Chain A
Amino acid sequence: MSIPFPTDYASKIFWVFAGMVLGCHLFAEKPLHREIDKLVKFRAGDVPFAKVADDATFLRRVSLDLTGNIPTTDEVILFLGDKSVSKRSDLIERFLKGEKFADYWAERLSVMLLERLDLGKVSQDEWKVFLGKSLAGEPKWDEMVRQMIEAKGVGASRPAMKFLGKADHHLMTENVSRLLLGMDLTCAKCHDHPSVKEWKQSHYWGLFAYLNQTKQATRKKEGKTYLVESLATKKVEFESVFDLVKMSTGPRLPGGGEVEIPQFEKGEEFEKVAEDGLPAVPKFRPREILANDLTAKEYDVFTRNSVNRIWFLVMGRGLSHPLDEMHSKNPPSHPDLLALLAREFSGHGFDLKWLLREIMLSETYQRASRLPKGVAKVEPTSYRVVTPKGLTPEQLLRAVLRVTGNVGEINPPDSESEAEKFDRKGYFTGTHDELPSSLEDMKAIFVQTFGEPPGQPEIDFSPGVNKSLFLMNDRLIQHWLKPRSGNLVHRLGKLNKDSAVARELYLCVLSRLPEEEERDWVSDYLSENAHRREEAQGDLVWSLLNSAEFRFNH
């Protein structure tokens, strides 16, 4: 199977050399996390690297990356006080095994795979439950993807089909190529890709030919919709808008061989008759073949894209970036590392938690985001420092709720009557004065403000005037900053000593202890505002909530 690797001479030489280096290391069977560090250091050369991040920073980072929220004050104090040598790896282990991992990673993978669209007949809730179940235990990424494409599950595994949405053939082709293969083939629908020479129109239509028999059908008795396949009898025809030459292809993965469409005797094409609203089941089902071929160990394109995206999710940037531009004109920053991760991931049965563990045990992941002494600037792709990632909209909401201590303000989902649906649109146009009280409504508001519009990938940090205005002036946040029983500002109000206020403030909002300079600022501000001390404490919380240190996962 040919793979679209860089073919220029310099890259070939490097490949051979990297292969030799790798060969030595693999023979020695060092753990993957050590190999990651070795390759990163090797590529950067003899230059200073930042030290490993301090405990508070590490706790906050891992907490966000594995559970989707900042740690509580108690968790910070406990971790800082823990003397055991293995506390970092123990923490990673605890989080990987915990419930919050499944919930959070279901959320992140959902945003990556569905891009906030809600298409098809599976509800968002059913899909999240399915993903959550897959991620609890020992999730295997190839198995998860295979289920999503095969989409023939019933009962609890039926929601896997949500990834394919409403079975729009072109949309499915584009999504599979972008999200599972790292190839944005959208522009290759009407002609060979205008700027990426190795992406051909035949790649687009070869994928299309796996998916174009798929359609929705509803089981009459239970009223549920499934994805079925019609009978494929011939290749897919296409022509370039530029040269109008007719071409055709059967199902074919980029870099793979063409699947032959079998011709059956009339009457022999189906293996199951139509029943209960579902059509007859053909013997040849190209989408099921795709599910297997695409997730096969040997299909490197899928594995490389998978590890690239998992790397992106914890490191903030893919080794190949942008994530759907994996081609020779856009080589990865560390081709050897990408190849190693791909090989190891597939070698370990696409064990997602194993890969996450190995990445997080590396120094590369644990490095501080502060520059090493004497260094003014580094290239982010050198990994000499960790590059901070923006909090996702959902992380931001959860963190703000945790910080301000207003979790008790949230109505449980069932208590809201249909008649009093919160007017989300009116919240943004200023046509009413109400505040959302359910987590769903709050999430919707944060997602609308901080997320990308539906259908757009959420990859890079994108600050905006409207987002900053929101954090500064939003009514809901102002409401949370008013002292209320048990919330942060109320708790601060009970502390008489400025130093205690500073400690509680920084532990709670920034998940660390304040430095001396910071204790002084707090004290100065409280003195200047002695006549309105409680409100001033709200100002302090506001200022840290709006700071870069809070906004970023550093």
Chain B
Amino acid sequence: MSVPPLHVTQSWASRELEHDRQLFRAQFSPDGQWIAAGGQDKLVHLWELEKEGKKTLEGHKTWVSSIVFHSKEKKLFTADYLGVIHCWDYEKADKPTWTIKEADRDNVRALVVTADGKYLISAGDDAVIKVWKASDGKQVVKLEGHEECIFCLAFSPDGKHLVSGDLLGRIRQWSIGTWKQVRELDAKLLHTRKENFLADVGGVRSFAFSDDGKLLAVGGMKEAKSNAFCPGKPTVLVFDWATGEVKNELGIKGKSDGPFNALQFLEDGNLVGHTEILHSDSELVFWKVDQAEPIHSIKNGSGYDLSLHPDKRQLLVPTYVTGGSSGNGGRGKTPENYLPNTSILRVFSLYAKPEEPKEG
């Protein structure tokens, strides 16, 4: 079946999966048949899409922070805030196949698998990138150099390089195989620490390489005003991969005040990203990368991840939904009706909604 042509301005929410707790990561499997998601309830949730099946995997002892499907096999890797990485044979088993107990002293914030399926690579709070064999979780090598926690990792499309981005806005490029640092890129605009801040705010929160490997989009926020509300201007820096210099700075037209948590290049070379905002509606944003202003925005609750379906037409966003008790103070609520906030896994189809078939 051929896919409809990409038409982002006509995008529509084609599927919604509700969940009663907050989910921060959600990914399509490489074959597009599964969605895996995880977050606040410590469980790994799996939906088998066509069969409308649902599975829950128990094992993590705290919030799930990273999720990645194996690029070749039917395996899922998940990590959490205690530095644990589980490998799941998700179609069959309910327990992890193997576990790395201390992949980080604290939060494993980024988890990626090489396209050839050989290596699983993690990074997080201890500022060290760790390369593991994807088959059994044995450590291969550690890459040191970052000074502050690492938020994200990505591979160049040619599979030769890995990039890592940290809290201070520094990006390091590593060569796969020789595991040496090759270059540093400067995304310090995405980091703020004013004199009266108690902590660094922002950082490099997301990466996306263009399909042809010529551009690297780096997401975060600039000009944070405080380390309390942490409000800033959601910003994407588009780097020319060859020169390592910033070609463009992309922003939004709306009012969102959080970082770009996830970015994704589309087949037509356009870029999409999702940001967050306090107590209001945020947005899914589309750009032509040579223009600072978006070509299209879709109002959506705050979103924390993006995953592009292998058909390259469906975009998955784990989206915040208020449970109705948000804001300062209990304001008369009781333990019974003070309910947690929830999530919707919202899939946007990036083309015109087909007309309903006519009756009769």
Chain A residues with a Cβ under 8 A of chain B:
241, 244
Contact = CB atoms under 8 A, between A and B. Distances in A.
Contacts of B331: 241, 244
Contacts of B332: 244
A244 B330 CA distance: 13
Contacts of A241: 331
Contacts of A244: 331-332
A244 B331 CA distance: 9
A241 B329 CA distance: 10
3 contacts: A241-B331, A244-B331, A244-B332
B289 to A, nearest CB: 30
A241 B332 CA distance: 10
Nearest to A241: B331
- 3 closest Cβ pairs, A-B complex: A244-B332, A241-B331, A244-B331
Interface in B266-311: none
A241 B331 CA distance: 7
A244 B333 CA distance: 12
Nearest to B328: A241
Interface of B: 331-332
Main secondary structure of the interface of A (DSSP, over half): loop
A93 B331 CA distance: 60
A125 B331 CA distance: 46
A241 B328 CA distance: 11
Nearest to B332: A244
Nearest to A243: B332
A244 B327 CA distance: 15
A369 B332 CA distance: 57
B21 to A, nearest CB: 28
A189 to B, nearest CB: 14
A522 to B, nearest CB: 50
A244 B332 CA distance: 9
B290 to A, nearest CB: 27
A419 B331 CA distance: 54
B232 to A, nearest CB: 21
A244 B329 CA distance: 14
A241 B327 CA distance: 13
A417 B16 CA distance: 63
B88 to A, nearest CB: 47
A244 to B, nearest CB: 7
A191 to B, nearest CB: 13
A299 to B, nearest CB: 36
A397 B338 CA distance: 58
A398 to B, nearest CB: 34
A299 B331 CA distance: 38
A168 B332 CA distance: 30
A246 to B, nearest CB: 14
Nearest to A244: B332
A343 to B, nearest CB: 46
B242 to A, nearest CB: 40
A282 B339 CA distance: 44
A190 to B, nearest CB: 11
A145 B246 CA distance: 52
B330 to A, nearest CB: 11
B255 to A, nearest CB: 16
B329 to A, nearest CB: 8
A405 to B, nearest CB: 40
B32 to A, nearest CB: 48
B326 to A, nearest CB: 15
A308 to B, nearest CB: 36
A400 B117 CA distance: 80
A356 to B, nearest CB: 44
B337 to A, nearest CB: 14
A407 B331 CA distance: 60
A176 B356 CA distance: 58
A73 B331 CA distance: 66
A241 B330 CA distance: 11
A426 to B, nearest CB: 14
Nearest to B329: A241
A167 B348 CA distance: 40
B333 to A, nearest CB: 11
A27 B331 CA distance: 59
A190 B182 CA distance: 58
A406 to B, nearest CB: 35
B204 to A, nearest CB: 33
A428 to B, nearest CB: 16
A198 to B, nearest CB: 27
